[in-house]
């Protein structure tokens, strides 16, 4: 059975259920302590501790002539997968459970700009429950250099081979996606990416041009559109941008290169309304210490318009905590304020 076509490049199948470890290039990953055998053994032990539990929620999705992966995230059978797997709300999908039995599911909503998709297992017996994994709801906890592991059924469900596990690191982080060196293959689409706490942090989306360019949808698109996607809506409003809007530019302090300083506050922006001022030094966001200006920007981008965040600042010799409600980027707000365009020849 052929795999879904959205991979830019398919890679050779990993033999058996062997653990594969990706090695990120130094240029792409933040500096980390040198690894030794005991450290790697600890990573392996941690993954093994979670594997027995999370593998019970990994499923294969068959839709049309393709096969992909998904993961159950609620006891009533809600499945997170990729939008290019579900394709459209209402589509019927055959689900291969971990024990090889077959179930049916219905595609729910999707975000076709970020490749986030949902499906729901049929639940004729309302008392029935399924094994599920926990979603990491604080997307700011994922950082470049973090260890992670990917599960999937490349090539479809295979009783003899079982699932395929890959361990690697987060190489890049954007508003709606993560890039890792966990090598993905055809049939992995929609499968889960976990942190070393066994929490779901990503859904496999696509492969770019290199073996270490494996793209996963982060939890941000799912979390900000959760109710609408469960209601079978197609999310398209994020085409003009992504992440919440703060309205401030920052830089590294000239006096203290380790400090992040506010360079400019845009008038009438969420930052201005919260009381941020030029030359304020930023210390924490949501009680998370800031590493640099890029880290600060990434945290803000991962939040949705309307989210409340706390920013700890130092102004002169005093420290204080400000609460900010993020807004929409101006271009997005202007776009959504416009009346919808009508098709040629349509009536008012």
Contact 335, 328 (CB under 8 A): no
Contact 180, 193 (CB under 8 A): yes
Classify 216 as helix, strand or coil: strand
Q: Supply the pLDDT for residue 66.
A: 80
Distance CA 40, CA 21 (A): 10
Residue 320: what are its φ and ψ, rounded to 5°? Answer: -150, 160
Distance CA 75, CA 71 (A): 12
Two tokens at 39? 């450290």
- Least Cα distance to 83 among 120, 61, 111 occurs for 111
Scanning the structure block, which residue is given the tokens 């689900």? Answer: 95
What are the start and end residues of each CATH 2.40.10.120 domain in the chain?
A: 2-234
Name 276's bridge partners. Answer: none
- Is domain 2-234 given the CATH code 3.40.50.20 in the classification? no
CATH code given to domain 248-332: 2.30.42.10
* 316: number of Cβ within 10 Å: 8
- Least Cα distance to 146 among 166, 172, 174, 165 occurs for 172
Distance CA 126, CA 298 (A): 41
Contact 195, 146 (CB under 8 A): yes
- C-alpha distances in angstroms, 130 versus 55, 75, 94, 165, 188? 12, 5, 16, 22, 21
Name 321's bridge partners. Answer: 312
Name 177's bridge partners. Answer: 217
- Each residue's pLDDT expressed in tens, for the chain with a length of 348 residues: 334 333 333 232 232 333 444 433 333 444 455 567 888 899 999 999 999 999 999 999 997 778 899 999 999 999 999 999 998 899 999 999 999 999 999 999 998 778 999 999 998 888 889 999 999 998 888 888 899 999 999 888 888 888 999 999 999 888 788 999 999 988 899 999 999 999 999 999 987 666 778 999 999 889 888 888 999 888 754 333 356 788 888 877 767 766 788 888 888 889 999 999 998 999 998 888 887 776 787 778 777 788 889 999 999 889 999 999 988 777 544 434 433 333 333 332
Q: Supply the pLDDT for residue 155.
A: 83
Contact 71, 59 (CB under 8 A): yes
Two tokens at 330? 């101006």
Distance CA 116, CA 165 (A): 22
Contact 15, 167 (CB under 8 A): no
Classify 84 as helix, strand or coil: helix
What are the start and end residues of each CATH 2.30.42.10 domain in the chain?
A: 248-332
- C-alpha distances in angstroms, 326 versus 139, 167, 246, 274? 16, 35, 6, 10
Strand pairing category for 192-195 and 147-152: antiparallel
* 334: number of Cβ within 10 Å: 11
Two tokens at 231? 């209601």
For residue 171, give the H/E element and its range.
strand 164-173
Distance CA 195, CA 293 (A): 24
Distance CA 144, CA 290 (A): 13
Q: Supply the pLDDT for residue 58.
A: 97
For residue 147, give the H/E element and its range.
strand 147-152
Contact 194, 201 (CB under 8 A): yes
Distance CA 277, CA 256 (A): 18
Name 82's bridge partners. Answer: 116
Two tokens at 210? 């290199």
pTM: 0.64
Distance CA 285, CA 289 (A): 7
């Amino acid at each position: 059975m052929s795999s879904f076509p959205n991979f830019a490049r398919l890679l050779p199948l990993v033999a058996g259920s062997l653990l594969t470890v990706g090695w990120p290039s130094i240029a792409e990953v933040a500096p980390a302590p040198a690894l030794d055998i005991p450290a790697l053994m600890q990573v392996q032990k941690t993954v093994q501790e979670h594997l027995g539990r999370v593998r019970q929620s990994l499923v294969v999705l068959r839709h049309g002539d393709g096969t992909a992966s998904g993961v159950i995230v609620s006891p009533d059978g809600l499945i997170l997968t990729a939008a290019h797997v579900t394709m459209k709300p209402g589509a019927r999908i055959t689900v291969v459970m971990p024990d090889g039995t077959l179930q049916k599911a219905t595609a729910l909503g999707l975000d076709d700009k970020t490749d986030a998709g949902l499906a729901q297992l049929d639940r004729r017996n309302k008392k029935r429950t399924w094994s599920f994994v926990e979603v990491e709801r604080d997307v700011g906890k994922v950082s470049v250099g973090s260890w992670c592991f990917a599960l999937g059924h490349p090539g479809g469900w295979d009783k003899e081979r079982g699932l395929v596990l890959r361990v690697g690191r987060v190489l890049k982080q954007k508003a709606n996606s993560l890039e890792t060196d966990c090598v993905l293959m055809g049939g992995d689409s929609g499968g889960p990416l976990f942190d070393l706490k066994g929490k779901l942090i990503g859904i496999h989306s696509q492969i770019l041009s290199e073996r270490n360019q494996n793209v996963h949808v982060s939890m941000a698109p799912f979390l900000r559109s959760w109710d609408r996607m469960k209601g079978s809506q197609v999310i398209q409003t994020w085409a003009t941008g992504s992440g919440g809007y703060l309205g401030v530019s920052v830089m590294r302090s000239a006096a203290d290169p380790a400090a992040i300083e506010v360079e400019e506050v845009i008038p009438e922006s969420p930052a201005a309304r919260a009381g941020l001022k030029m030359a304020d030094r930023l210390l924490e966001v949501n009680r998370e210490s800031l590493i640099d200006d890029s880290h600060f920007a990434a945290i803000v981008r991962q939040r949705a318009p309307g989210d409340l965040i706390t920013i700890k600042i130092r102004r002169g010799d005093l420290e204080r905590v400000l609460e900010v409600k993020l807004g929409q980027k101006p271009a997005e707000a202007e776009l959504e304020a416009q009346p919808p365009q009508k098709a040629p020849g349509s009536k008012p």
